[in-house]
Amino acid sequence: MAKEPKASIQDNPLVRALSRWENEGGRTDADREKRAALAKEEEALILQCLGAAVISRWNNLPTEVQRELFARAVSVGEPLATADLKEQLARFLHSHKDL
C-alpha cells in the first residue's frame, strides 16, 4: 500500500489566504500593541468598578472579610511601600466609610 504524500501546508487554501492577508498588512505589530493597550484599559476599568462596588458595601461586610480584603489589597502593592499603602488604604476607607 503506497502512502500518499502529505499535502504541504501551503496547499491549504486557508493558510494561503491568511498569508496573503498578513502580507497585505492585515496584522501588524501596531495592531497587537493597540489590542494590548485596550486590554489593559479594560482591566483597569473592571478593577475600578469592582473596587467601587466593594467600597460602597464596605460597612456591611463582616470584619473578618474587611481584614482579608485589606490584607490582599496591601499585598498587591510594592513590598517596600507596604506601610505607606496600608496608611493610604486605611485613610481612604475611613474617609469613605459613610458612603
Q: What is the pLDDT along the chain (99 residues), one digit of tens a residue?
A: 555 555 566 677 777 777 777 766 656 667 778 788 878 888 989 999 999 999 999 999 999 999 999 999 888 877 778 888 889 989 998 888 766
pTM tops 0.75, yes or no:
no
Contact call for residues 69 and 54 (beta carbons, < 8 A): yes
pLDDT confidence of residue 40: 85
Please report, for residues 47, 48, 63, the alpha-carbon distance to residue 70 in angstroms, rounded to integers and kept in the order given: 15, 16, 10
d(CA 4, CA 10): 17
